[in-house]
Structure 1
Protein backbone atom coordinates (compact mmCIF):
# COMPACT_ATOMS: atom_id res chain seq x y z
CA UNK A 1 0.00 0.00 0.00
CA UNK A 2 1.31 3.44 -0.91
CA UNK A 3 -0.13 6.83 0.01
CA UNK A 4 -0.44 9.35 -2.81
CA UNK A 5 -1.16 13.08 -2.67
CA UNK A 6 -2.52 15.01 -5.66
CA UNK A 7 -2.82 18.77 -5.33
CA UNK A 8 -5.58 21.00 -6.61
CA UNK A 9 -3.11 23.84 -6.95
CA UNK A 10 -4.23 27.46 -6.76
CA UNK A 11 -1.94 29.76 -8.78
CA UNK A 12 -1.38 32.50 -6.23
CA UNK A 13 0.76 35.62 -6.59
CA UNK A 14 4.07 35.50 -4.72
CA UNK A 15 6.21 38.51 -5.58
CA UNK A 16 9.20 37.56 -3.42
CA UNK A 17 11.21 34.35 -3.52
CA UNK A 18 11.11 33.87 0.25
CA UNK A 19 7.32 34.06 0.28
CA UNK A 20 7.04 31.49 -2.47
CA UNK A 21 9.61 29.17 -0.86
CA UNK A 22 7.72 29.30 2.44
CA UNK A 23 4.47 28.55 0.60
CA UNK A 24 5.90 25.47 -1.14
CA UNK A 25 7.54 24.22 2.04
CA UNK A 26 4.27 24.49 3.95
CA UNK A 27 2.33 22.83 1.14
CA UNK A 28 4.70 19.87 1.05
CA UNK A 29 4.72 19.56 4.84
CA UNK A 30 0.92 19.50 4.89
CA UNK A 31 0.86 16.40 2.69
CA UNK A 32 3.81 14.74 4.41
CA UNK A 33 2.17 15.21 7.80
CA UNK A 34 -0.75 13.14 6.46
CA UNK A 35 1.55 10.32 5.46
CA UNK A 36 2.01 11.09 1.76
CA UNK A 37 4.85 9.17 0.10
CA UNK A 38 4.40 10.67 -3.37
CA UNK A 39 3.27 14.25 -4.00
CA UNK A 40 2.01 15.46 -7.39
CA UNK A 41 1.51 19.09 -8.41
CA UNK A 42 -0.05 20.08 -11.75
CA UNK A 43 1.08 21.05 -15.20
CA UNK A 44 2.49 24.60 -15.35
CA UNK A 45 2.58 24.89 -11.56
CA UNK A 46 6.00 26.40 -12.22
CA UNK A 47 4.35 29.45 -13.80
CA UNK A 48 3.78 30.73 -10.26
CA UNK A 49 7.46 31.74 -10.41
CA UNK A 50 6.57 34.52 -12.85
CA UNK A 51 4.92 36.35 -9.98
CA UNK A 52 8.43 37.37 -8.94
CA UNK A 53 8.99 39.23 -12.22
CA UNK A 54 8.18 42.92 -12.71
CA UNK A 55 4.46 43.45 -13.39
CA UNK A 56 5.06 44.53 -16.99
CA UNK A 57 7.02 41.35 -17.67
CA UNK A 58 4.78 38.83 -15.93
CA UNK A 59 1.74 40.23 -17.76
CA UNK A 60 3.37 39.50 -21.13
CA UNK A 61 3.10 35.83 -22.10
CA UNK A 62 6.32 35.46 -24.08
CA UNK A 63 8.36 37.86 -21.96
CA UNK A 64 7.36 36.03 -18.80
CA UNK A 65 8.32 32.63 -20.20
CA UNK A 66 11.72 33.95 -21.26
CA UNK A 67 12.39 35.82 -18.01
CA UNK A 68 11.39 32.95 -15.70
CA UNK A 69 14.22 30.77 -17.02
CA UNK A 70 16.65 32.31 -14.52
CA UNK A 71 14.30 31.30 -11.66
CA UNK A 72 13.88 27.66 -12.61
CA UNK A 73 17.23 26.32 -11.28
CA UNK A 74 16.57 27.77 -7.81
CA UNK A 75 13.06 26.30 -7.87
CA UNK A 76 14.34 22.86 -8.79
CA UNK A 77 16.98 23.03 -6.08
CA UNK A 78 14.26 23.77 -3.53
CA UNK A 79 12.15 20.86 -4.78
CA UNK A 80 15.12 18.52 -4.63
CA UNK A 81 15.88 19.54 -1.05
CA UNK A 82 12.25 19.12 0.04
CA UNK A 83 12.06 15.60 -1.39
CA UNK A 84 15.31 14.67 0.30
CA UNK A 85 14.40 16.33 3.62
CA UNK A 86 11.09 14.49 3.90
CA UNK A 87 12.13 11.25 2.24
CA UNK A 88 9.34 11.43 -0.36
CA UNK A 89 8.85 11.49 -4.10
CA UNK A 90 7.85 14.90 -5.41
CA UNK A 91 6.65 15.99 -8.83
CA UNK A 92 6.49 19.80 -8.51
CA UNK A 93 4.50 20.13 -11.71
CA UNK A 94 5.89 21.35 -14.99
CA UNK A 95 7.30 24.51 -16.53
CA UNK A 96 8.33 25.71 -20.00
CA UNK A 97 12.08 25.20 -20.24
CA UNK A 98 14.36 26.66 -22.91
CA UNK A 99 16.71 23.96 -24.16
CA UNK A 100 20.12 24.39 -25.76
CA UNK A 101 18.53 24.46 -29.23
CA UNK A 102 16.55 27.57 -28.25
CA UNK A 103 13.21 25.73 -28.18
CA UNK A 104 10.87 25.72 -25.20
CA UNK A 105 9.52 22.42 -23.94
CA UNK A 106 6.93 21.65 -21.28
CA UNK A 107 8.95 19.61 -18.76
CA UNK A 108 8.11 17.80 -15.54
CA UNK A 109 10.56 16.53 -12.93
CA UNK A 110 10.47 13.65 -10.46
CA UNK A 111 12.54 14.05 -7.30
CA UNK A 112 13.08 11.35 -4.72
CA UNK A 113 14.85 10.91 -1.40
CA UNK A 114 18.16 10.50 -3.25
CA UNK A 115 17.69 13.47 -5.59
CA UNK A 116 16.50 13.84 -9.18
CA UNK A 117 15.02 10.60 -10.52
CA UNK A 118 14.34 11.92 -14.02
CA UNK A 119 12.33 14.20 -16.29
CA UNK A 120 9.44 13.81 -18.72
CA UNK A 121 8.50 16.25 -21.46
CA UNK A 122 5.01 16.71 -22.81
CA UNK A 123 4.92 14.98 -26.19
CA UNK A 124 1.77 16.31 -27.83
CA UNK A 125 1.06 20.03 -27.70
CA UNK A 126 -2.38 21.61 -27.43
CA UNK A 127 -3.35 24.32 -29.89
CA UNK A 128 -2.79 27.02 -27.28
CA UNK A 129 0.74 25.80 -26.55
CA UNK A 130 1.65 25.35 -30.19
CA UNK A 131 0.00 28.41 -31.69
CA UNK A 132 0.30 30.99 -28.89
CA UNK A 133 2.98 29.86 -26.44
CA UNK A 134 5.25 28.45 -29.18
CA UNK A 135 6.11 25.43 -27.04
CA UNK A 136 7.69 22.51 -28.90
CA UNK A 137 6.99 18.83 -28.35
CA UNK A 138 9.45 16.92 -26.21
CA UNK A 139 11.95 14.75 -28.04
CA UNK A 140 13.02 12.38 -25.28
CA UNK A 141 10.19 9.88 -25.65
CA UNK A 142 8.49 8.08 -22.77
CA UNK A 143 10.26 7.47 -19.49
CA UNK A 144 9.45 4.89 -16.80
CA UNK A 145 11.03 5.63 -13.44
CA UNK A 146 12.11 2.91 -11.03
CA UNK A 147 11.24 4.08 -7.53
CA UNK A 148 10.93 2.62 -4.07
CA UNK A 149 7.15 2.75 -4.58
CA UNK A 150 7.04 0.97 -7.93
CA UNK A 151 7.42 1.80 -11.61
CA UNK A 152 6.00 5.21 -12.42
CA UNK A 153 5.40 7.16 -15.64
CA UNK A 154 4.32 10.75 -16.25
CA UNK A 155 1.94 11.93 -18.97
CA UNK A 156 1.37 15.68 -18.92
CA UNK A 157 -2.25 16.79 -19.41
CA UNK A 158 -3.16 16.42 -23.13
CA UNK A 159 -0.85 13.40 -23.47
CA UNK A 160 -3.39 11.41 -21.44
CA UNK A 161 -5.90 11.75 -24.26
CA UNK A 162 -3.86 9.52 -26.59
CA UNK A 163 -3.98 5.74 -25.99
CA UNK A 164 -0.60 4.87 -27.49
CA UNK A 165 1.36 6.93 -24.95
CA UNK A 166 -0.06 5.24 -21.87
CA UNK A 167 0.24 1.92 -23.68
CA UNK A 168 3.94 2.57 -24.15
CA UNK A 169 4.37 3.18 -20.43
CA UNK A 170 2.35 0.06 -19.56
CA UNK A 171 4.51 -2.07 -21.84
CA UNK A 172 7.55 -0.76 -19.98
CA UNK A 173 6.01 -2.00 -16.74
CA UNK A 174 4.49 1.16 -15.26
CA UNK A 175 1.95 0.53 -12.50
CA UNK A 176 1.09 4.19 -11.97
CA UNK A 177 0.83 7.13 -14.34
CA UNK A 178 1.03 10.65 -12.93
CA UNK A 179 -1.12 13.12 -14.85
CA UNK A 180 -0.33 16.75 -14.00
CA UNK A 181 -2.91 18.90 -15.80
CA UNK A 182 -3.80 22.53 -16.47
CA UNK A 183 -7.21 23.29 -17.97
CA UNK A 184 -9.09 26.58 -18.14
CA UNK A 185 -12.58 25.17 -18.76
CA UNK A 186 -14.69 22.46 -17.19
CA UNK A 187 -14.81 20.74 -20.59
CA UNK A 188 -11.02 20.74 -20.73
CA UNK A 189 -10.82 19.19 -17.29
CA UNK A 190 -13.27 16.46 -18.27
CA UNK A 191 -11.37 15.70 -21.48
CA UNK A 192 -8.25 14.99 -19.47
CA UNK A 193 -10.13 13.13 -16.75
CA UNK A 194 -11.94 10.93 -19.27
CA UNK A 195 -8.56 10.24 -20.87
CA UNK A 196 -7.10 9.27 -17.50
CA UNK A 197 -9.98 6.91 -16.78
CA UNK A 198 -9.77 5.35 -20.24
CA UNK A 199 -6.01 4.79 -19.91
CA UNK A 200 -6.56 3.14 -16.51
CA UNK A 201 -9.20 0.85 -18.02
CA UNK A 202 -7.22 -0.07 -21.14
CA UNK A 203 -3.95 -0.82 -19.37
CA UNK A 204 -5.26 -1.98 -15.98
CA UNK A 205 -3.10 0.55 -14.17
CA UNK A 206 -3.70 3.55 -11.89
CA UNK A 207 -3.68 7.18 -13.06
CA UNK A 208 -3.36 10.09 -10.62
CA UNK A 209 -4.52 13.53 -11.83
CA UNK A 210 -3.49 16.86 -10.27
CA UNK A 211 -4.99 20.08 -11.75
CA UNK A 212 -4.48 23.81 -11.46
CA UNK A 213 -7.45 25.69 -9.99
CA UNK A 214 -8.49 29.27 -9.36
CA UNK A 215 -7.90 32.55 -11.14
CA UNK A 216 -4.64 34.45 -11.61
CA UNK A 217 -5.48 37.67 -13.44
CA UNK A 218 -1.85 38.72 -13.22
CA UNK A 219 -0.73 35.83 -15.48
CA UNK A 220 -1.75 35.52 -19.15
CA UNK A 221 -0.51 31.92 -19.09
CA UNK A 222 -2.59 30.51 -16.23
CA UNK A 223 -5.25 33.15 -15.66
CA UNK A 224 -8.19 30.70 -15.50
CA UNK A 225 -7.99 27.21 -14.05
CA UNK A 226 -10.62 24.54 -13.39
CA UNK A 227 -10.26 20.94 -12.32
CA UNK A 228 -10.52 18.22 -9.67
CA UNK A 229 -7.86 15.88 -8.36
CA UNK A 230 -8.53 12.18 -8.72
CA UNK A 231 -7.11 8.68 -8.70
CA UNK A 232 -8.51 6.34 -11.34
CA UNK A 233 -8.22 2.56 -11.63
CA UNK A 234 -9.80 -0.18 -13.78
CA UNK A 235 -13.35 -1.02 -12.59
CA UNK A 236 -12.92 -4.65 -11.64
CA UNK A 237 -12.69 -7.11 -8.73
CA UNK A 238 -11.67 -5.42 -5.48
CA UNK A 239 -11.72 -1.95 -7.04
CA UNK A 240 -14.51 0.66 -7.30
CA UNK A 241 -17.24 -0.21 -9.80
CA UNK A 242 -16.89 3.18 -11.50
CA UNK A 243 -13.09 3.13 -11.53
CA UNK A 244 -12.87 6.24 -9.34
CA UNK A 245 -10.76 5.36 -6.32
CA UNK A 246 -10.78 8.96 -5.06
CA UNK A 247 -11.98 12.36 -6.21
CA UNK A 248 -11.61 15.77 -4.59
CA UNK A 249 -14.77 17.23 -3.09
CA UNK A 250 -15.23 20.22 -5.41
CA UNK A 251 -14.30 21.49 -8.85
CA UNK A 252 -12.58 24.69 -7.78
CA UNK A 253 -11.67 25.07 -4.11
CA UNK A 254 -10.84 28.56 -2.83
CA UNK A 255 -7.27 27.52 -1.99
CA UNK A 256 -4.80 24.78 -2.76
CA UNK A 257 -5.95 21.41 -1.42
CA UNK A 258 -4.46 17.93 -1.30
CA UNK A 259 -6.30 14.76 -2.20
CA UNK A 260 -4.77 11.96 -0.10
CA UNK A 261 -5.46 8.38 -1.16
CA UNK A 262 -4.02 4.92 -0.52
CA UNK A 263 -3.29 2.67 -3.49
CA UNK A 264 -2.88 -1.11 -3.18
CA UNK A 265 -0.54 -1.98 -6.03
CA UNK A 266 -0.86 -5.73 -5.42
CA UNK A 267 -4.66 -5.57 -5.80
CA UNK A 268 -4.15 -3.60 -9.00
CA UNK A 269 -1.70 -6.13 -10.41
CA UNK A 270 -3.98 -9.01 -9.46
CA UNK A 271 -6.71 -7.64 -11.73
CA UNK A 272 -4.39 -8.13 -14.72
CA UNK A 273 -4.31 -11.88 -14.18
CA UNK A 274 -7.63 -12.57 -12.42
CA UNK A 275 -9.95 -9.75 -13.50
CA UNK A 276 -13.35 -9.98 -15.13
CA UNK A 277 -11.74 -8.75 -18.34
CA UNK A 278 -8.18 -8.65 -19.68
CA UNK A 279 -8.00 -5.31 -21.47
CA UNK A 280 -4.25 -5.04 -20.97
CA UNK A 281 -3.78 -8.38 -22.74
CA UNK A 282 -6.62 -8.36 -25.27
CA UNK A 283 -6.56 -4.81 -26.63
CA UNK A 284 -3.24 -5.06 -28.51
CA UNK A 285 -4.18 -8.45 -30.00
CA UNK A 286 -7.45 -7.08 -31.34
CA UNK A 287 -5.72 -3.93 -32.59
CA UNK A 288 -3.13 -5.94 -34.49
CA UNK A 289 -5.73 -8.24 -36.04
CA UNK A 290 -7.66 -5.24 -37.33
CA UNK A 291 -4.52 -3.88 -38.94
CA UNK A 292 -3.86 -7.06 -40.98
Structure 2
Protein backbone atom coordinates (compact mmCIF):
# COMPACT_ATOMS: atom_id res chain seq x y z
CA UNK A 1 0.00 0.00 0.00
CA UNK A 2 1.21 3.48 -0.75
CA UNK A 3 0.45 6.03 1.97
CA UNK A 4 -3.28 6.19 2.52
CA UNK A 5 -5.85 5.51 5.21
CA UNK A 6 -5.48 2.35 7.29
CA UNK A 7 -9.21 1.71 7.19
CA UNK A 8 -11.59 2.19 4.32
CA UNK A 9 -15.35 1.85 3.84
CA UNK A 10 -16.38 0.61 0.40
CA UNK A 11 -19.86 0.81 -1.15
CA UNK A 12 -20.87 -1.62 -3.91
CA UNK A 13 -24.01 -0.77 -5.88
CA UNK A 14 -26.95 -2.94 -6.87
CA UNK A 15 -28.21 -0.38 -9.34
CA UNK A 16 -31.61 -0.33 -11.11
CA UNK A 17 -31.93 1.17 -14.58
CA UNK A 18 -34.73 3.73 -14.88
CA UNK A 19 -36.62 5.53 -17.60
CA UNK A 20 -35.36 9.07 -17.08
CA UNK A 21 -37.64 12.05 -17.58
CA UNK A 22 -34.82 14.57 -18.05
CA UNK A 23 -31.10 15.13 -17.61
CA UNK A 24 -31.95 16.86 -14.35
CA UNK A 25 -33.68 13.65 -13.25
CA UNK A 26 -30.48 11.72 -13.86
CA UNK A 27 -28.51 14.30 -11.88
CA UNK A 28 -30.93 13.95 -8.97
CA UNK A 29 -30.68 10.15 -9.08
CA UNK A 30 -26.87 10.16 -9.03
CA UNK A 31 -26.76 12.81 -6.31
CA UNK A 32 -29.08 10.71 -4.15
CA UNK A 33 -27.00 7.57 -4.61
CA UNK A 34 -23.67 9.29 -3.95
CA UNK A 35 -24.99 11.28 -1.00
CA UNK A 36 -26.42 8.14 0.58
CA UNK A 37 -23.12 6.28 0.36
CA UNK A 38 -21.09 9.24 1.55
CA UNK A 39 -23.42 9.84 4.51
CA UNK A 40 -22.88 6.20 5.48
CA UNK A 41 -19.14 6.87 5.58
CA UNK A 42 -18.08 5.28 2.28
CA UNK A 43 -14.90 6.58 0.67
CA UNK A 44 -14.98 4.39 -2.46
CA UNK A 45 -18.22 3.95 -4.44
CA UNK A 46 -18.53 1.35 -7.20
CA UNK A 47 -21.27 1.56 -9.85
CA UNK A 48 -21.92 -1.30 -12.32
CA UNK A 49 -21.17 -2.14 -15.92
CA UNK A 50 -23.55 -0.55 -18.44
CA UNK A 51 -25.45 1.32 -15.74
CA UNK A 52 -25.13 4.29 -18.09
CA UNK A 53 -27.51 2.76 -20.64
CA UNK A 54 -30.47 4.30 -18.83
CA UNK A 55 -29.32 7.57 -20.40
CA UNK A 56 -30.59 6.26 -23.75
CA UNK A 57 -34.14 6.84 -22.49
CA UNK A 58 -33.49 10.58 -22.65
CA UNK A 59 -33.54 10.25 -26.44
CA UNK A 60 -36.96 8.61 -26.39
CA UNK A 61 -38.32 5.05 -26.44
CA UNK A 62 -37.52 4.37 -30.10
CA UNK A 63 -33.84 5.16 -29.59
CA UNK A 64 -33.63 3.26 -26.30
CA UNK A 65 -35.15 0.20 -28.02
CA UNK A 66 -32.57 0.20 -30.82
CA UNK A 67 -29.15 -1.31 -30.03
CA UNK A 68 -27.02 0.89 -32.24
CA UNK A 69 -28.91 4.13 -31.65
CA UNK A 70 -28.90 3.59 -27.89
CA UNK A 71 -25.12 3.12 -27.87
CA UNK A 72 -24.58 6.34 -29.77
CA UNK A 73 -27.10 8.29 -27.70
CA UNK A 74 -25.30 7.35 -24.47
CA UNK A 75 -21.86 7.99 -25.95
CA UNK A 76 -22.98 11.48 -26.94
CA UNK A 77 -23.65 12.39 -23.31
CA UNK A 78 -20.39 11.22 -21.79
CA UNK A 79 -18.77 14.65 -21.48
CA UNK A 80 -21.69 15.71 -19.28
CA UNK A 81 -21.54 12.40 -17.40
CA UNK A 82 -17.83 12.92 -16.69
CA UNK A 83 -18.40 16.45 -15.46
CA UNK A 84 -21.22 15.29 -13.17
CA UNK A 85 -19.19 12.46 -11.61
CA UNK A 86 -16.16 14.69 -11.12
CA UNK A 87 -18.31 17.28 -9.39
CA UNK A 88 -19.94 14.68 -7.13
CA UNK A 89 -16.59 13.12 -6.21
CA UNK A 90 -15.25 16.55 -5.22
CA UNK A 91 -18.43 17.67 -3.43
CA UNK A 92 -18.71 14.53 -1.27
CA UNK A 93 -14.98 13.82 -0.94
CA UNK A 94 -15.21 10.29 -2.36
CA UNK A 95 -13.66 8.16 -5.08
CA UNK A 96 -16.26 6.96 -7.61
CA UNK A 97 -16.06 4.23 -10.22
CA UNK A 98 -18.77 5.41 -12.57
CA UNK A 99 -21.03 3.01 -14.44
CA UNK A 100 -19.35 1.85 -17.63
CA UNK A 101 -20.52 3.21 -20.97
CA UNK A 102 -20.01 2.71 -24.71
CA UNK A 103 -17.26 5.00 -25.99
CA UNK A 104 -16.54 5.65 -29.66
CA UNK A 105 -12.82 6.30 -29.52
CA UNK A 106 -11.19 7.01 -32.90
CA UNK A 107 -8.05 5.25 -31.68
CA UNK A 108 -9.90 1.91 -31.82
CA UNK A 109 -11.77 2.32 -35.10
CA UNK A 110 -15.50 2.69 -35.81
CA UNK A 111 -16.87 0.42 -33.08
CA UNK A 112 -17.32 1.32 -29.39
CA UNK A 113 -15.36 0.10 -26.40
CA UNK A 114 -16.95 -0.52 -23.00
CA UNK A 115 -15.28 1.97 -20.64
CA UNK A 116 -15.47 2.66 -16.92
CA UNK A 117 -13.94 5.75 -15.36
CA UNK A 118 -12.52 6.21 -11.86
CA UNK A 119 -12.94 9.70 -10.40
CA UNK A 120 -10.84 11.05 -7.52
CA UNK A 121 -12.17 13.80 -5.23
CA UNK A 122 -9.07 15.86 -5.93
CA UNK A 123 -10.01 16.17 -9.60
CA UNK A 124 -8.13 13.58 -11.69
CA UNK A 125 -9.87 10.66 -13.37
CA UNK A 126 -8.71 7.60 -15.27
CA UNK A 127 -10.34 5.24 -17.74
CA UNK A 128 -10.36 1.46 -17.94
CA UNK A 129 -11.73 -0.41 -20.96
CA UNK A 130 -13.13 -3.93 -20.94
CA UNK A 131 -10.66 -6.39 -22.41
CA UNK A 132 -12.68 -9.44 -23.48
CA UNK A 133 -16.18 -9.21 -24.91
CA UNK A 134 -19.08 -11.54 -24.13
CA UNK A 135 -20.92 -13.27 -26.96
CA UNK A 136 -23.69 -10.63 -26.96
CA UNK A 137 -21.17 -7.80 -27.06
CA UNK A 138 -19.45 -9.43 -30.03
CA UNK A 139 -22.70 -9.99 -31.96
CA UNK A 140 -25.01 -8.29 -32.51
CA UNK A 141 -23.65 -5.36 -30.50
CA UNK A 142 -20.13 -5.28 -31.99
CA UNK A 143 -18.51 -3.77 -28.92
CA UNK A 144 -14.72 -4.18 -29.00
CA UNK A 145 -11.81 -4.33 -26.61
CA UNK A 146 -10.24 -0.93 -26.03
CA UNK A 147 -7.13 0.26 -24.23
CA UNK A 148 -4.88 -1.85 -21.98
CA UNK A 149 -5.28 -2.69 -18.31
CA UNK A 150 -4.26 0.10 -15.98
CA UNK A 151 -3.27 0.35 -12.33
CA UNK A 152 -4.51 3.51 -10.60
CA UNK A 153 -2.38 4.92 -7.79
CA UNK A 154 -4.84 6.71 -5.51
CA UNK A 155 -5.02 8.15 -2.02
CA UNK A 156 -6.83 4.94 -1.04
CA UNK A 157 -4.13 2.62 -2.40
CA UNK A 158 -3.58 0.94 -5.77
CA UNK A 159 -6.82 0.17 -7.60
CA UNK A 160 -7.44 -2.03 -10.64
CA UNK A 161 -10.63 -2.57 -12.64
CA UNK A 162 -11.80 -5.78 -14.32
CA UNK A 163 -15.11 -5.17 -16.08
CA UNK A 164 -17.55 -8.06 -15.64
CA UNK A 165 -16.41 -10.93 -17.95
CA UNK A 166 -12.77 -9.83 -17.51
CA UNK A 167 -12.96 -11.04 -13.90
CA UNK A 168 -13.32 -14.62 -15.15
CA UNK A 169 -9.83 -14.67 -16.69
CA UNK A 170 -7.02 -15.24 -14.16
CA UNK A 171 -4.23 -13.81 -16.32
CA UNK A 172 -6.03 -10.47 -16.47
CA UNK A 173 -6.31 -10.56 -12.71
CA UNK A 174 -2.65 -11.48 -12.38
CA UNK A 175 -1.69 -8.50 -14.53
CA UNK A 176 -3.18 -6.39 -11.73
CA UNK A 177 -1.43 -8.27 -8.92
CA UNK A 178 -0.03 -5.00 -7.53
CA UNK A 179 -3.56 -3.71 -6.90
CA UNK A 180 -4.70 -3.53 -3.29
CA UNK A 181 -8.33 -3.33 -4.45
CA UNK A 182 -9.90 -4.81 -7.60
CA UNK A 183 -13.20 -3.33 -8.78
CA UNK A 184 -15.53 -5.53 -10.82
CA UNK A 185 -18.52 -3.63 -12.26
CA UNK A 186 -20.95 -6.16 -13.74
CA UNK A 187 -24.13 -6.52 -15.78
CA UNK A 188 -25.60 -10.03 -15.91
CA UNK A 189 -29.04 -11.27 -16.96
CA UNK A 190 -29.17 -14.67 -15.22
CA UNK A 191 -28.21 -16.13 -11.86
CA UNK A 192 -25.63 -18.22 -13.72
CA UNK A 193 -24.06 -15.02 -15.00
CA UNK A 194 -24.13 -13.40 -11.59
CA UNK A 195 -22.41 -16.38 -10.00
CA UNK A 196 -19.81 -16.64 -12.77
CA UNK A 197 -18.75 -13.06 -12.13
CA UNK A 198 -19.02 -13.39 -8.36
CA UNK A 199 -16.91 -16.56 -8.28
CA UNK A 200 -14.40 -14.96 -10.64
CA UNK A 201 -14.24 -11.93 -8.36
CA UNK A 202 -13.67 -14.10 -5.31
CA UNK A 203 -11.04 -16.15 -7.14
CA UNK A 204 -9.13 -12.99 -8.03
CA UNK A 205 -9.23 -11.94 -4.34
CA UNK A 206 -7.77 -15.34 -3.43
CA UNK A 207 -5.03 -15.33 -6.08
CA UNK A 208 -3.93 -11.74 -5.59
CA UNK A 209 -4.62 -11.66 -1.83
CA UNK A 210 -6.49 -8.40 -2.21
CA UNK A 211 -9.94 -6.89 -1.75
CA UNK A 212 -12.30 -7.41 -4.70
CA UNK A 213 -15.55 -5.47 -5.12
CA UNK A 214 -18.46 -6.48 -7.35
CA UNK A 215 -21.29 -4.12 -8.33
CA UNK A 216 -24.34 -5.10 -10.40
CA UNK A 217 -27.23 -3.80 -12.43
CA UNK A 218 -30.52 -5.14 -11.04
CA UNK A 219 -34.16 -5.31 -12.08
CA UNK A 220 -36.12 -5.11 -15.32
CA UNK A 221 -35.54 -2.57 -18.08
CA UNK A 222 -38.02 -3.72 -20.76
CA UNK A 223 -37.37 -0.62 -22.83
CA UNK A 224 -33.90 -1.95 -23.79
CA UNK A 225 -32.98 -4.99 -25.91
CA UNK A 226 -29.55 -5.05 -24.26
CA UNK A 227 -30.19 -4.69 -20.52
CA UNK A 228 -33.84 -5.74 -20.29
CA UNK A 229 -33.18 -8.29 -17.53
CA UNK A 230 -30.63 -7.70 -14.76
CA UNK A 231 -29.70 -10.14 -12.01
CA UNK A 232 -27.13 -9.29 -9.38
CA UNK A 233 -26.06 -7.90 -6.03
CA UNK A 234 -23.27 -5.85 -4.54
CA UNK A 235 -20.45 -7.78 -2.91
CA UNK A 236 -17.12 -7.10 -1.23
CA UNK A 237 -14.67 -9.98 -0.89
CA UNK A 238 -11.29 -10.77 0.65
CA UNK A 239 -8.92 -13.73 0.57
CA UNK A 240 -10.24 -16.49 2.88
CA UNK A 241 -7.22 -16.29 5.14
CA UNK A 242 -5.83 -14.80 8.34
CA UNK A 243 -7.55 -11.59 9.40
CA UNK A 244 -10.58 -12.09 7.15
CA UNK A 245 -13.77 -14.18 7.29
CA UNK A 246 -13.29 -17.88 6.59
CA UNK A 247 -15.44 -17.63 3.44
CA UNK A 248 -13.82 -14.37 2.30
CA UNK A 249 -17.17 -12.53 2.26
CA UNK A 250 -16.93 -9.08 3.85
CA UNK A 251 -20.35 -7.98 2.66
CA UNK A 252 -22.94 -9.14 0.14
CA UNK A 253 -26.37 -7.78 -0.71
CA UNK A 254 -29.59 -9.67 -1.26
CA UNK A 255 -30.01 -10.78 -4.86
CA UNK A 256 -31.81 -8.17 -6.98
CA UNK A 257 -32.38 -5.76 -4.09
CA UNK A 258 -31.41 -2.21 -5.15
CA UNK A 259 -29.10 -0.28 -2.87
CA UNK A 260 -25.59 -0.14 -1.49
CA UNK A 261 -23.67 -2.94 0.17
CA UNK A 262 -21.00 -1.68 2.58
CA UNK A 263 -17.90 -3.20 4.11
CA UNK A 264 -15.12 -1.79 6.24
CA UNK A 265 -11.63 -2.75 5.10
CA UNK A 266 -8.54 -2.97 7.28
CA UNK A 267 -5.83 -2.19 4.75
CA UNK A 268 -3.11 -3.40 7.11
CA UNK A 269 -4.74 -6.84 6.95
CA UNK A 270 -3.98 -6.99 3.22
CA UNK A 271 -0.32 -6.28 3.86
CA UNK A 272 -0.27 -8.89 6.62
CA UNK A 273 -1.96 -11.66 4.66
CA UNK A 274 0.41 -11.13 1.75
CA UNK A 275 3.41 -11.37 4.05
CA UNK A 276 2.38 -13.97 6.62
CA UNK A 277 -0.90 -15.56 5.53
CA UNK A 278 -1.57 -19.27 5.84
CA UNK A 279 -0.97 -19.51 2.08
CA UNK A 280 0.95 -17.23 -0.32
CA UNK A 281 -0.95 -17.53 -3.60
CA UNK A 282 0.24 -14.15 -4.84
CA UNK A 283 3.92 -14.85 -4.12
CA UNK A 284 3.83 -18.46 -5.29
CA UNK A 285 2.12 -17.72 -8.62
CA UNK A 286 5.40 -17.86 -10.65
CA UNK A 287 5.92 -21.48 -9.60
CA UNK A 288 3.29 -22.45 -12.17
CA UNK A 289 5.72 -21.59 -14.96
CA UNK A 290 6.57 -24.69 -16.96
CA UNK A 291 3.67 -26.63 -15.43
CA UNK A 292 0.89 -25.20 -17.59
CA UNK A 293 1.63 -27.17 -20.76
CA UNK A 294 -0.23 -30.20 -22.11
CA UNK A 295 -0.51 -32.91 -19.44
CA UNK A 296 1.29 -36.19 -19.85
CA UNK A 297 -1.10 -38.82 -21.16
CA UNK A 298 -1.45 -41.89 -18.94
CA UNK A 299 -3.56 -44.84 -20.09
CA UNK A 300 -5.46 -46.64 -17.33
CA UNK A 301 -7.74 -48.73 -19.56
* TM value normalised by structure 2: 0.92
Structure 1: which 4+ aligned runs deviate by more than 4 Å? 289-292
Deviations 1:120-156, CA, capped at 9 Å, x for gaps: 0000000000111110111x21101011110000000
> What displacement does 1:21 show?
0.7
Q: Which runs of 5+ in 1 are unaligned?
A: none
1:229 aligns with 2:256: no
Q: What is the correspondence of 1:147-226 to structure 2 with a 5 Å cutoff?
A: 147-170=154-177, 173-226=178-231
**Equivalent-residue separation in structure 2 for 1:286 and 1:66 (angstroms):** 44
Aligned length: 286
- Give the structure 2 partner of residue 111 of structure 1: 119
**Equivalent-residue separation in structure 1 for 2:52 and 2:151 (angstroms):** 22
**Equivalent-residue separation in structure 2 for 1:30 and 1:237 (angstroms):** 32
**Equivalent-residue separation in structure 2 for 1:126 and 1:277 (angstroms):** 33
* TM value normalised by structure 1: 0.95
**Equivalent-residue separation in structure 2 for 1:107 and 1:260 (angstroms):** 24
- Give the structure 1 partner of residue 67 of structure 2: 61
> What displacement does 1:87 show?
1.3
Q: After superposing the two structures, state which structure 1 stretch, 58-67 or 30-39, moved more.
A: 58-67
Deviations 1:194-242, CA, capped at 9 Å, x for gaps: 1011111111111000000000111112110001111111111111101
> What displacement does 1:291 show?
5.0
Rg comparison, structure with higher value: 2
> What displacement does 1:289 show?
4.6
> What displacement does 1:69 show?
2.2
**Equivalent-residue separation in structure 1 for 2:179 and 2:40 (angstroms):** 25
- Give the structure 2 partner of residue 2 of structure 1: 8
Q: Which runs of 5+ in 2 are unaligned?
A: 1-6, 295-301
The alignment yields a C-alpha RMSD, in angstroms, of 1.3
Q: What is the correspondence of 1:1-292 to structure 2 with a 5 Å cutoff?
A: 1-100=7-106, 101-138=109-146, 140-170=147-177, 173-248=178-253, 250-253=254-257, 256-290=258-292
SS of structure 1 residue aligned to 2:183: strand
